[in-house]
A = this chain, B = another copy of it.
Amino acid sequence: MSATIDLLLMNGTVVTMDAAWTIIPQGAVAIQGNQIVAVGPASELAEHYTAKETRDCSGHAIIPGLINGHAHVPMSLLRGMVADQQLDVWLFGYMFPVESQFVDADFSYVGTLLSCAEMLRGGTTTFVDMYYFEEEVARAADAAGMRAICGQTVMRLPTPDAKSFDEGLERARRFIEAWRDHPRIVPTVAPHAPYTCTDRIYQEASALCRRFGVPLVTHLSETAHEVDESIREREVTPIRYAKRVGAFDVPCIAAHCVHATEDDIRLLREARVGAVPCPTSNLKLASGIAPYRRLIDAGVRVGLGTDGPASNDDQDMFTEIQLAALLPKGVSGDPTAVPAREALALATCWGAKAIHLDQIIGTLEVGKRADVAVVGLGRLHSAPRYTYSPDAIYSHLVYSARASDVRDVIVDGRMLMREQQLLSLDEADILHRAQSIAEGINTFLAHRESDVLAKIIALGGVQPDEIFEIQVKARVGATSETKLHALLEHPEVSISKHSVRTQYDTYFFFKSHERLRIREDHRTDPGARPEPKYTITLVAEAVRGEYPLAMVLSRARYTASADHTARFYREYFQPERHVEIEKRRKRWRILYKEHDFALNLDTLASGASDAGPYLEIKSRTWSSRDAATRANLIGELMAIAGISEDELVKQEYVELV
């Protein structure tokens, strides 16, 4: 006598990942509705059940669907966009400008579809996400038939979907209310990280999670720098900070934890926080290697994630599992550190604990949701098959099997991939839509890469300066004081400002003849504010118009405050060459016949062919007629100062080095 059920997976090696690590060599899994109703030897299940669909899994392993514990799935659209850069160049030079320009509801939807298709092909059935327009992530995950915890990102900076964090929190609240009863999607809020949030963001996010009974998703202790900064600014690690601001008052999923201290690890265990390192991403972004062995030994709930595909670049949990087995061995010198079985657990039974869904997924046991992957064994890269020890299956799955060996995938009892054919998603259509979004970004970046101005504009805050610059410069030697005196004491000259400065200028030169100047400007006169000013100025190629005495340059100039290091700009702009100049400048702002001029007495630091001093008279204007007027006035000022023509220097300082 046999019961009729929906689906019977027969004759595979069933890797249950249950508490006893049960392996059933000639096993079967019976599925009715969205649940597993029996797991056991195939011969037994064949006696008890008749199924609407029976899949022969000979030569295959039947495993719990894999759990991707941390991702930013829409970022699949940015995969391969930029790599091998310092974190700031990657983030401020590429990710933020592109995200602020391109991320919208459609981006999140299409990017999620692409990721779901990839994840299903690789046997992943559940993922935890953190991105913008998270309702679109939820909608796409639902369409794909996957299980997901979707975290609406909140941070104190403006994001593509919220101008302020209040708006972000409100978005999260509406999102959770709209999706809270979904059978597979858990909607929630994701305060981005301690270094991008405020206490209030975490407190309100935690309150939201408590109110709706959903887990809180965040990033903690990803980099050593983040930990150092947190200790410097708050005297506690990011993990202890997170506890302080309430993040651990609700079930928490903390991505990375690469630099968790012993104290942090105790906190994570006590608060039952899920720690989710992302091996590939942690390597690629040079964050480091998480203390897998110590986290596991301490009893922390440990999972594994892919992180966003912009830093991975795939969403292949087989790769992450393999790295979780390999990396701890390589760095500890102990080849038994994190054996295959435990590495697989991080993406199944233990991973389910880490994301607080172990009541319903993570193992193949009666009563659990039917989230299952069927993985081919004995392919060219995984043959031959050793079976003398049942545990050898873990080694096969972790060290040999790969995403492309997955044959069938079932989520919540529904077959989403059969015989490597995706059933819920249209691959060709997704690839087409993804590429068309990427084409827009390609065009944006292609334009920007060939255009230094566009690259500056992408960084934000750029202002155009006056086009015409009128200047005269003279090597004045020992006569500098006399000449200055003549000018400053002249009855028609009034001084509006005076300062003494040391300026460190770095010039970048490009094929395009444009020039970038990054200036670090320190006031050194007594009583002046000690903070240096940093500016970046793009100077287009100049058209020189020579007036009898003064030089008039016509050129576009764009200035922004320089928030990053010279190293950042060098790596971001990749100039053909760069030149550094240091000069000491005494500056007077003067008015002469109702026109303003700058009077600079400059001494160059070593490196220049002639250190000076140089006396420079300079002015700028938007108008060509005004430029001519000023050129004549500069002639008069030269006469006042008694500068002779043979003292004039036609080059700019950067040309003197």
Residues of A that sit less than 8 Å from B by CB: 76-77, 79-87, 90, 114, 117-118, 121-122, 224, 280, 282-289, 312-316, 325-327, 329-337, 339-340, 378, 380-389, 392, 395-396, 399-400, 402-404, 427, 430-431, 434-435, 437-439, 441-443, 445-446, 449, 571
Contacts and interface: CB of A to CB of B under 8 A. Distances in A.
A44 to B, nearest CB: 23
A21 to B, nearest CB: 14
Contact of A336 (B79, B85, B316, B332): B85
A314 B400 contact: yes
B382 A80 contact: yes
Contacts of A117: 380
A378 B442 CA distance: 15
A80 B379 CA distance: 13
Nearest to A315: B381
A335 B118 contact: no
22 contacts: A77-B384, A79-B383, A80-B395, A80-B400, A81-B392, A83-B399, A84-B325, A84-B336, A87-B335, A114-B383, A121-B381, A285-B329, A286-B330, A287-B330, A289-B331, A380-B427, A383-B438, A384-B439, A385-B438, A386-B445, A388-B442, A388-B449
Contacts of A288: 330-331, 333
B437 A384 contact: yes
Contact of A114 (B333, B380, B387, B441): B380
Given A333-B224, A335-B90, A389-B449, A381 B340 contact: no
A208 to B, nearest CB: 34
Nearest to A397: B80
A219 to B, nearest CB: 17
B435 A378 contact: yes
A437 B380 CA distance: 15
A87 B383 CA distance: 23
A87 B336 CA distance: 9
B326 A283 contact: yes
Contact of A381 (B316, B395, B571): B316
B327 A283 contact: yes
A445 B224 CA distance: 46
Which residue, of A285, A380, A449, has the highest number of chain B Cβ atoms within 10 A? A380
A323 to B, nearest CB: 9
A383 B82 CA distance: 14
A381 B335 contact: no
Nearest to A443: B388
A88 to B, nearest CB: 10
Contacts of A286: 329-330, 332-335, 337
Contacts of A388: 441-443, 445-446, 449
Contacts of A441: 386, 388
A213 to B, nearest CB: 34
Contacts of A381: 118, 121-122, 314-316, 403
Nearest to A316: B381
A399 B80 contact: yes
Contact of A434 (B339, B384, B443): B384
A330 B83 contact: no
A189 to B, nearest CB: 29
Nearest to A120: B380
Contacts of A121: 380-381
A314 to B, nearest CB: 5
B385 A80 contact: yes
Given A384-B438, A385-B438, A435-B383, A329 B284 contact: yes
A388 to B, nearest CB: 4
A399 B336 contact: no
| Leading 7 A-B pairs by shortest Cβ distance | A384-B438, A283-B330, A84-B339, A388-B446, A283-B326, A286-B335, A388-B445
Contact of A84 (B282, B340, B435): B340
Nearest to A223: B333
B399 A313 contact: yes
Contacts of A380: 114, 117-118, 121, 427, 430-431
Nearest to A378: B431
Nearest to A395: B83
A70 B402 CA distance: 22
Contact of A438 (B386, B430, B434): B386
A336 B86 contact: yes
B400 A280 contact: no
Contacts of A118: 380-381
A280 B83 contact: no
Contacts of A329: 283-286
A329 B437 CA distance: 30
A46 to B, nearest CB: 25
A371 B489 CA distance: 80
Contacts of A81: 386, 392
Contacts of A314: 381-382, 399-400, 402
A400 B340 CA distance: 24
B434 A383 contact: yes
Nearest to A425: B380
Contact of A400 (B79, B331, B337): B79
Contacts of A386: 80-81, 438, 441-442, 445
Given A87-B335, A288-B330, A399-B312, A79 B384 contact: yes
A395 B84 CA distance: 8
Nearest to A81: B386
A280 to B, nearest CB: 7
A386 B395 CA distance: 36
B399 A284 contact: yes
